[in-house]
């Protein structure tokens, strides 16, 4: 039964041969050839027969096909023009798929949503992302505050671990805060290299991000907040005091930095990795007020 699906080694090879398709490593082309993994992604993605789905990078359509079967409509962004005629062929039996030939980083996703989905339709993003631009893609989608319920993506395991990390762990860092400011993040499954063609060099995980209805902490200025968080992790082994001194060099003196930390009850000898999001927000807001005055 599953044999007819695109995501099998046999069908994938047939399609690649038919079109003499050669993988572009520079576009992160590692296609999924395991229907069970796809079913797992679908199962976690929270999609239903009435929901809309956005995919990034359909490749030859392995995941797109499953999304078309399990949701109302799929809109997929693909940068590689060579894949368009292939997708037209492999997905010809589905009438609920629209392929947009565009670089997702340049696309006006909100406009595409407004043009393609019904008002109030629940929308989820689901993708096996090109690993070379995982973080820029996710940050773009989150910062634009698109009206999507969740983002479920296959990404490099090490990056997924960083995005879903907890304080005081090796993976916890500025990327964790950036992602968890917008979403609740969870690694739902680790995936072996063998489910891809060609096999990537790194291990993979499925990460699920559920959009927050409101920010988890109050920040005076988001850009300022993220800049301070980055500064606190600039050198992981260094204390907060030292990282902040380097960041504010020539702008704020050490006494001001120490007093500010004291005034908010955060010990300057701690390291960035020990602060939770709430503490980072208090810290960033305190320095923001000082710099503004």
Please report how close the Cβ of residue 123 comes to ligand SAM at its closest, in angstroms.
18
Stretch that binds ligand SAM, among 44-52, 74-82, 89-97, 113-121 (CB under 6 A): 74-82
Please report how close the Cβ of residue 87 comes to ligand SAM at its closest, in angstroms.
9
Instruction: Kindly give the pairing relationship between strand 52-56 and strand 31-32.
Output: unpaired
Burial of 16 (C-beta count, 10 Å sphere; 0-12/13-18/19+): middle
Q: Is 79 in the site for ligand SAM (CB under 6 A)?
A: yes
Print the binding letters for residues 11-50 with ligand SAM: x by CB under 6 A, - otherwise.
----------------xxxxxx------------------
> Total residues contacting ligand SAM (rule CB under 6 A)?
23
Please report how close the Cβ of residue 44 comes to ligand SAM at its closest, in angstroms.
15
Output the six-digit token pair for 84. Answer: 């368009």
- With CB under 6 A as the contact rule, the residue among 128, 135, 204, 211 that binds ligand SAM is 128
Nearest to 166 by CA among 156, 174, 176: 176
16 vs 290 by CB, closer to ligand SAM:
16
Alpha-helical runs (H) found in 45-78: 62-70
Is 232:280 a contact under the CB 8 Å cutoff?
yes
- Positions in 90-109 near ligand SAM (CB under 6 A): 103-105
Q: Is 75 in the site for ligand SAM (CB under 6 A)?
A: no
Q: Is 66 in the site for ligand SAM (CB under 6 A)?
A: no
Closest-CB residue for ligand SAM?
Answer: 57
Burial of 137 (C-beta count, 10 Å sphere; 0-12/13-18/19+): buried
Q: Is 80 in the site for ligand SAM (CB under 6 A)?
A: yes
Q: Is 138 in the site for ligand SAM (CB under 6 A)?
A: no
User: Quick check: helix, strand or coil at residue 193?
Assistant: helix
Is 55:32 a contact under the CB 8 Å cutoff?
no
**For 192, what's the count of Cα atoms within 13 Å in the CB-facing half-sphere?**
4
User: Quick check: helix, strand or coil at residue 61?
Assistant: coil
103 vs 262 by CB, closer to ligand SAM:
103
132 vs 262 by CB, closer to ligand SAM:
132
Stretch that binds ligand SAM, among 45-53, 125-133, 184-192, 234-242 (CB under 6 A): 125-133
- With CB under 6 A as the contact rule, the residue among 51, 53, 54, 77 that binds ligand SAM is 77
57 vs 173 by CB, closer to ligand SAM:
57
Please report how close the Cβ of residue 16 comes to ligand SAM at its closest, in angstroms.
11
DSSP string covering 104-145: TTT--HHHHHHHHS-TT--EEEEEE--GGGHHHHHHHHHHTT
Q: Is 70 in the site for ligand SAM (CB under 6 A)?
A: no
Output the six-digit token pair for 287. Answer: 């320095």
Nearest to 206 by CA among 128, 121, 258: 128
Residues found near ligand SAM in the complex (CB under 6 A): 27-32, 56-59, 62-63, 77-80, 83, 103-105, 128, 130, 133
């Amino acid at each position: 039964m599953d044999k007819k699906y695109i995501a099998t080694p046999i069908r994938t090879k047939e399609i690649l041969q038919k079109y003499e398709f050669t993988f572009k490593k520079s576009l992160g082309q590692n296609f999924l050839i395991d229907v069970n993994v796809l079913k797992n992604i679908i199962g976690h993605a929270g999609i239903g027969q009435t929901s809309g789905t956005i995919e990034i990078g359909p490749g030859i359509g392995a995941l797109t096909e499953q999304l078309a079967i399990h949701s109302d409509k799929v809109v997929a962004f693909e940068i590689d023009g060579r894949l368009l005629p292939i997708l037209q062929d492999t997905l010809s039996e589905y009438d609920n798929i629209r392929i947009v030939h565009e670089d997702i980083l340049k696309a006006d996703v909100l406009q595409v949503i407004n043009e393609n989905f019904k008002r109030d339709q629940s929308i989820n993003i689901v993708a096996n992302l090109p690993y070379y631009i995982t973080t820029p893609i996710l940050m773009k989608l989150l910062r634009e505050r698109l009206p999507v319920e969740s983002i479920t993506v296959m990404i490099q395991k090490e990056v997924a671990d960083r995005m879903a990390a907890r304080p005081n762990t090796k993976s916890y860092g500025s990327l964790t805060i950036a992602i968890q400011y917008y979403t609740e993040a969870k690694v739902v499954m680790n995936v072996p290299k063998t489910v891809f063609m060609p096999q990537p060099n790194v291990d993979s995980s499925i990460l699920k991000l559920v959009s927050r209805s409101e920010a988890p902490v109050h920040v005076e200025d988001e850009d300022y907040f993220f800049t301070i968080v980055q500064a606190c992790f600039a050198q992981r082994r260094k204390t907060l005091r030292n990282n902040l001194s380097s960041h504010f060099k020539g702008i704020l003196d050490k006494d001001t930095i120490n007093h500010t930390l004291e005034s908010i009850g955060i010990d300057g000898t701690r390291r960035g990795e020990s602060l939770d999001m709430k503490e980072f927000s208090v810290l960033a807001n305190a320095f923001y007020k000082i710099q503004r005055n």
